[in-house]
Amino acid sequence: GPDRTHGNRRAIMRPVQSYLRGSAGPLADIYDVALLDLDGVVYIGPEAVRGAPQALAAARRAGMRLAFVTNNAARTPEAVAAHLTELGVDAQPPEVVTSAQAAARYLAEQLPAQARVLVVGTTGLEEALRERSLVPVGDALGQVDAVAQGYSPDLTWRLLAEGAVAINLGVPWVATNADPTVPSPRGRLPGNGALVAALRVATGAEPVVTGKPDPAMHRESLLRSEAQHPVVVGDRLDTDIEGANAVGCDSMLVLSGVTSPREALYATPRQRPTYLATDVGGLLQRHPEPDLNPDGVVTCGAWRAAAVEGQRGARLKLTLSPDGRRGSPDRLADLDALRALCGASWRLPGGDRTVEADGDDERSKLASERALGRLGLLG
């Protein structure tokens, strides 16, 4: 459509949908299985995400089945299920899907039974290989048919060195995932991707990565959960959400892990979720759909967001204001504000975004400022 000019600012008019969708009812009533990431979604380190055990129990009561899908290859499904149970989340080992299992299935399809695989990782990866009739080994002194690398908090330089020796001999190299970081109560820590990078630099080789966002991980999840109409729930745009989009699966991004509201505004097309929620409690909620108005303004609930260019056209700005026709600013949901902002932001090309509060009056502008402050989007 045509541009609408307001003084020195020109509204961006691009016929592109917001990508966020709405739901007629709670997601637990619409989807048969929730494919749940763990780190940052169900727990962070040794502690459950606040409210997650109760929300997941309620989702089960609503008839939704759960599958616990993790790129972390360090622990066995039994260990993961035991940890979840300790945190108050009812979980059985068959409900756990790990990137180690996806890597083992991939290797089993490439190698003969009893092939020897050097494990640059720990117990979870070793058990997954044995499940597929492969033989895990701990050094490159004897015959090695492949290298499998997965996250281990106790990985040593010696084991990395053995991996480098085997990779330099030309054997296949499979990494369970390439997550650069893992969340922790102390912030982001080095993940498997950081350790994969060490071997990539040391050998010049490139691994096959089978964890999220690779479709191999989604395939493993579907095979083990027998899901017919699943929804992926994750906290990472580059693994959980991108992986879901790669296979055409709906997804829900939660803000309880590594992705911040500001990072959500910058999501590239292949990393945009279907739904947005504060945490897994979003499975129990109806999701409003952002509405793109003819004038280019995106409305969600009582909030409006518009994308405008600066005077020089170099910086892209977003404005947010409560929509007084739809409710009182005192009762507005911050998540609706973020949904509207994402709808406006995702219509823009790459570049910086400056988020600022706007309003029809001082009360509305103050409500906008407070919402942006709670979302960490001011400044």
User: Is 39 among the catalytic positions?
Assistant: yes
Both tokens assigned to 32: 């048969």
Question: Which amino acid appears at position 22 of this protein?
Answer: G
> Catalytic residue among 37, 145, 238, 250, which?
37
- Number of neighbours of residue 203 by Cβ within 10 angstroms: 17
Q: Count Cβ atoms within 10 A of the Cβ of residue 351 and give its class: 0-12 exposed, 13-18 middle, 19 or more buried.
A: exposed
Interior/surface letters 105-129, b for 16+ CB within 10 angstroms, e for the rest: bbbbeebeeebbbbbbbbbbbbbbb
**Under a CB-based contact definition with an 8 Å cutoff, are residues 18 and 342 in contact?**
yes
Q: How far apart (Å, rounded) are the C-alpha atoms in residues 98 and 103? A: 9
Q: Is 90 a catalytic residue?
A: no
Q: Which residue in the list 39, 179, 235, 336 is annotated as catalytic?
A: 39
For 103-133, the DSSP string reads: HHHHHHHHS-TT-EEEEES-HHHHHHHHHTT
Q: Enumerate the active-site residues.
A: 37, 39
